[in-house]
Chains A and B, each alone.
Chain A
């Protein structure tokens, strides 16, 4: 199957998601279930990555800023901006592409192979609407929240590393955080988070939904979905930076 056929089928899948729900209450239940799965399920890894990401950024920035003419509070500014602009939205979303993406692809793939999707179809349920739409909406709601949490924890991790190692005092770090802060950067980070959340939920959903074969193919679909999602996240990252900055 060539790339155009795949892209066409992907678009048709997205179009097929928009139909009237058979029972709004059941769809809401599924949406909340997915929010919990994606959000709470990924919170642990996001917390760990973010704290260490901020801490390492602080140490490496301090290592490079050796000039006595540059105030130490600049370290905080650099950490803040790199965390908000790049690390939290992009790095966290790449990790989430692995965590959430493989889960979505393998869950749908298993349902396809074990005929559970066929069973739902025969009941008269639009499986694209019932199985894929709640995942996409949940990712759209929860992933930007995780990115915000990650940014806060990343900056906190940076401050913690700075004070624990004595590179920058807490007061100097806080002063640096407030200097030259651009709220637009937060808007940019959120724009990235929304774009990436769509990519890392819809691409695995596509690969999982259309899987054919058995356990081996589910594994392959899961791996492929993660690889494609990561590449598209990086590509979208560049495009957004070029357009919005």
Chain B
């Protein structure tokens, strides 16, 4: 579990995060959503220690990250995996070397053991026959999957994903979402996903935080978000008429006013 308590972070005069508190539960997909510039990436970077918050506390299973010394932080970071927006794979290394890198750096296993683990995680993210390819030779979706494989290779307790669906087609996005969700449950990880992809919100959002101009505007689950009365959240989530109609349909369906087993052709007649 990760607890964020009264985090504030500014750059110069501008406050980007203003007194945000939240709890991210273990074994759940915790989503941070919000428009561009709402502070969600800065919040995530504060959580992983890439930015130092101006005030507030970040606790990993009760351990205050801000009070840790360099060695303690290093130790904790080995329990953190992160998938970056652009995958952040090492260009000069093959897929296999990318995933092998954390094992080489932090474990004393034999090469055969390490290779077995690499193949295990690459299989888990459904990547086969790509071991010797370079990042430039694989697709965006595959890069994301290599990024996930690298993030989970050391069996982390915490997984952070920064916009895992950016630049991907809807079908591949769904596959990545599904994979993140499955891995979260399978390894019982505390997963924090930063997204503005509505499919992700509805499919994987066990716990959702909506950020607006550096403040936590709303908190709930994917089941609650549809009934939210928060106007800003509704404007953000159901931005298009199509999505608004879909929401109305879903609400009617949930209230039992539409039989979702009915044939679509019958409905259109």
Q: Does B5 contact A (CB under 8 A)?
A: no
- Tell me the minimal C-beta distance from B74 to chain A in angstroms: 4
Whether A122 and B86, one on each chain, are in contact in the complex, defined by CB atoms closer than 8 angstroms, is no
Partner of A124, one of B74, B84, B104, B160: B74
Whether B50 and A123, one on each chain, are in contact in the complex, defined by CB atoms closer than 8 angstroms, is no
Whether A121 and B50, one on each chain, are in contact in the complex, defined by CB atoms closer than 8 angstroms, is yes
Whether B75 and A124, one on each chain, are in contact in the complex, defined by CB atoms closer than 8 angstroms, is yes
Whether A123 and B88, one on each chain, are in contact in the complex, defined by CB atoms closer than 8 angstroms, is no
Please measure, in the bound complex, the distance between the C-alpha atom of A154 and the C-alpha atom of B106, giving whole angstroms: 47
Say which size band chain B's interface belongs to.
Answer: 20 to 34
Q: Does A118 contact B (CB under 8 A)?
A: yes
Whether B105 and A23, one on each chain, are in contact in the complex, defined by CB atoms closer than 8 angstroms, is yes
Please measure, in the bound complex, the distance between the C-alpha atom of A201 and the C-alpha atom of B239, giving whole angstroms: 51
Nearest residue (CB) in B for A115 is B88
Please measure, in the bound complex, the distance between the C-alpha atom of A90 and the C-alpha atom of B184, giving whole angstroms: 58
Q: Does B140 contact A (CB under 8 A)?
A: no
Partner of A22, one of B49, B82, B105: B105
Q: Does B90 contact A (CB under 8 A)?
A: yes
Q: Does A116 contact B (CB under 8 A)?
A: yes
Given contacts A115-B84, A118-B50, contact A123 B90 (CB under 8 A): no
Please measure, in the bound complex, the distance between the C-alpha atom of A26 and the C-alpha atom of B90, giving whole angstroms: 15
Given contacts A22-B74, A23-B104, A26-B104, contact A122 B80 (CB under 8 A): yes
Q: Does B102 contact A (CB under 8 A)?
A: yes
- The digit string for A120-133, where 1 denotes a CB below 8 A from any CB of B, is 01111110000000
Q: Does B193 contact A (CB under 8 A)?
A: no
Nearest residue (CB) in B for A124 is B77
Whether A119 and B88, one on each chain, are in contact in the complex, defined by CB atoms closer than 8 angstroms, is yes
- Tell me the minimal C-beta distance from A139 to chain B in angstroms: 19
Nearest residue (CB) in B for A23 is B105
Chain B binding site: helix, strand, loop or mixed by DSSP?
mixed
Nearest residue (CB) in A for B104 is A26
Q: Does B85 contact A (CB under 8 A)?
A: yes
Set of chain B residues within 8 Å of A126, measured between Cβ atoms: 74
Given contacts A121-B50, A122-B80, A124-B78, contact A22 B106 (CB under 8 A): yes
- Tell me the minimal C-beta distance from B157 to chain A in angstroms: 13
Set of chain A residues within 8 Å of B106, measured between Cβ atoms: 22-23, 123-124
Nearest residue (CB) in A for B85 is A115
- Tell me the minimal C-beta distance from B151 to chain A in angstroms: 9
Nearest residue (CB) in B for A119 is B88
Whether B88 and A116, one on each chain, are in contact in the complex, defined by CB atoms closer than 8 angstroms, is yes
Set of chain A residues within 8 Å of B76, measured between Cβ atoms: 124
Q: Does B73 contact A (CB under 8 A)?
A: yes
Q: Does A60 contact B (CB under 8 A)?
A: no
Q: Does B31 contact A (CB under 8 A)?
A: no
Please measure, in the bound complex, the distance between the C-alpha atom of A110 and the C-alpha atom of B136, giving whole angstroms: 14
Given contacts A115-B86, A115-B88, contact A122 B104 (CB under 8 A): no
Whether A122 and B50, one on each chain, are in contact in the complex, defined by CB atoms closer than 8 angstroms, is yes
Q: Does A114 contact B (CB under 8 A)?
A: yes
Which residue, B76, B102, B105, has most C-beta atoms of chain A within 10 A?
B105
Question: Which residues of A33-67 have CB atoms within 8 Å of chain B's CB atoms?
Answer: none
- Tell me the minimal C-beta distance from B75 to chain A in angstroms: 7
Q: Can you name 12 A-B residue pairings with CB atoms under 8 Å?
A: A23-B105, A26-B105, A110-B91, A114-B91, A121-B77, A122-B80, A122-B82, A122-B160, A123-B102, A124-B74, A124-B76, A124-B78
* Given A116-B88, A119-B88, A122-B80, 14 further pairs, Cβ under 8 A: A22-B106, A23-B105, A23-B106, A115-B84, A115-B85, A115-B86, A118-B84, A121-B77, A122-B49, A122-B50, A122-B82, A124-B74, A124-B77, A124-B106
**Residues of A near any B CB (own CB < 8 A):** 19, 22-23, 26, 110, 114-116, 118-119, 121-126
